Amino acid sequence: MIDKTGTDPLFQPLKLGNTELANRVLMSPLTRSRASQHGDVPNAMNLEYYRQRASAGLIISEATQVSPQGKGYAFTPGIHSEAQIAGWKAITDAVHEAGGRIHMQLWHVGRISHPDLQPNGETPVAPSAIRPEGAMTFISADSGMVEITEPRALDADEMPDIVEQFRIGAINAKKAGFDGVEVHAANGYLLDQFIKSGSNQRTDDFGGSLANRLRLPLMVTEAVIDVWGKDNVGVRISPTGSFNAMYDEDPLATFGEFAKQLNALGVAYIEVVEDSFQGNHAEGRPESVIDAVKNNFEGVYIANGNYLAEEARDRISKGRCDLVTFGRPFIANPDLPERFRDDAPLNEWDSGSFYGGDERGYTDYPFLEKTEA
């Protein structure tokens, strides 16, 4: 449906913390595994990809490892070296020159890694030494998918170093010219591993009770706020996601309380993975969990997961969310907001080119005018 009245919910401006958004069609953080393998440095191909999508109300960058220890897949970018900062700075400059806004997603994969990806072949770290059954990664262009090995449990005295990795990543994201940052506490990676009962079997101050399981994610978020200020920080969660062998026995209580604590810290937004093509324990959108998050959080609620335009409009209109991040539609449609505004047909995505490779399936999807021509 084309909105001729100027009241299309997707195209109402919104202030997200200190950032003015021109529309509510946001680009989801999307791992594409196309950074330069040597040094995990963003490159010219990545720059073109983000520049093409600058019409998004906000781009949230692909997950970006805050340290060498935080790496879990080949060809993913980092934000812990001068070369990486410079590579990202070229990207943020290009996005800004095109009129866009961009946040960096700060990432530590925890157990979703492999010794071949770790410094000096070390064992990946986790809250508990639990191997995620069925979780896979890839370590090179030729490796194919390989199984995740059993991680080692972090010692309590290592937690300050994890926090410091995120703090330095936040500092470097600021140097790289981002408009804000998102703490990745979703999708089965390190902070999600601490939050959820299925992956955190600790008996110290960082496990057991819900308060203890939330301790490290909240410490990380506080450290990032210290760098950026609360108005420029968001947090991503996936309460019912099953990707990477994740499970929580009471997601409503867990994420209702996490939302309450994040609200106390004053973060600008929570991005919620409601329904994922990568796996979800809930059928459809977990409305009771969504309510628990919304009822305990006064900031902006960003919805994510299998959305297209009409459902996004409907849920924004009904107050179920404020903004929506789009993933696969943005992969295949660099001009997605324009297509939604004009009710134009969408390019179909090629799932075979999601991860790794070259420009094919990355920067060669046609824009609307080229499609019509």
Residue 57: burial class (beta carbons within 10 Å; 0-12, 13-18, 19+): buried
Q: Which of 242, 230, 232, 227 is nearest to 172 (CA)?
A: 227
| 3 domain residue, yes or no | no
| 1 domain residue, yes or no | no
Rounded to whole angstroms, how far apart are CA atoms 87 and 327? 23
| 2 domain residue, yes or no | no
- Rounded alpha-carbon distances, angstroms, from residue 4 to 227, 307, 337, 342, 343: 43, 22, 15, 10, 11
| 82 domain residue, yes or no | yes
| 138 domain residue, yes or no | yes
- Rounded alpha-carbon distances, angstroms, from residue 37 to 33, 40, 252: 9, 5, 40
Q: Which two tokens stand for residue 311?
A: 């459902």
User: What pLDDT sits at residue 37?
Assistant: 85
Residue type at position 41: V
User: What pLDDT sits at residue 326?
Assistant: 98
Cβ atoms of residues 93 and 42 within 8 Å: no
| 4 domain residue, yes or no | no
**Cβ atoms within 10 Å, residue 100:** 21
| 42 domain residue, yes or no | yes
Predicted structure pTM score: 0.96
By residue range, what is the domain housing residue 61?
Answer: 9-372
- Alpha helices of 196-335 — where are they, by DSSP H? 210-213, 215-228, 251-265, 287-295, 309-317, 328-332
DSSP code at position 99: T
User: What pLDDT sits at residue 297?
Assistant: 98
Residue with tokens 């609360």: 230
301 a catalytic residue: no
> Which residues, other chains included, contact 183 with Cβ-Cβ below 8 Å and sequence gap of 6+?
105, 106, 166, 191, 217, 220, 221, 224, 233, 234, 235, 236
Cβ atoms of residues 353 and 30 within 8 Å: no
| 188 domain residue, yes or no | yes
Can you say whether residue 297 is alpha, beta or left, with left for phi > 0 and alpha for psi between -120 and 50 degrees?
beta
CA 259 to chain centroid: 17
* Cα torsion angle, 231, 206, 272, 112, sign: positive
The CATH number of the domain holding residue 99 is: 3.20.20.70
Q: Which of 153, 181, 187 is nearest to 167 (CA)?
A: 181
Residue with tokens 């935080």: 70
Cβ atoms of residues 333 and 339 within 8 Å: yes
User: What pLDDT sits at residue 340?
Assistant: 98
Mean pLDDT of residues grouped by 10 in the chain (373 residues)? 68 96 98 94 98 98 98 97 98 98 98 97 98 93 88 98 98 98 98 98 97 98 98 98 96 98 98 94 95 98 97 98 98 98 97 96 90 45
* Cα torsion angle, 127, 130, 135, 138, sign: positive
User: What pLDDT sits at residue 373?
Assistant: 41
Give the total number of structural domains in the chain: 1
Q: Which of 50, 73, 189, 301 is catalytic?
A: 189
User: What pLDDT sits at residue 141?
Assistant: 80
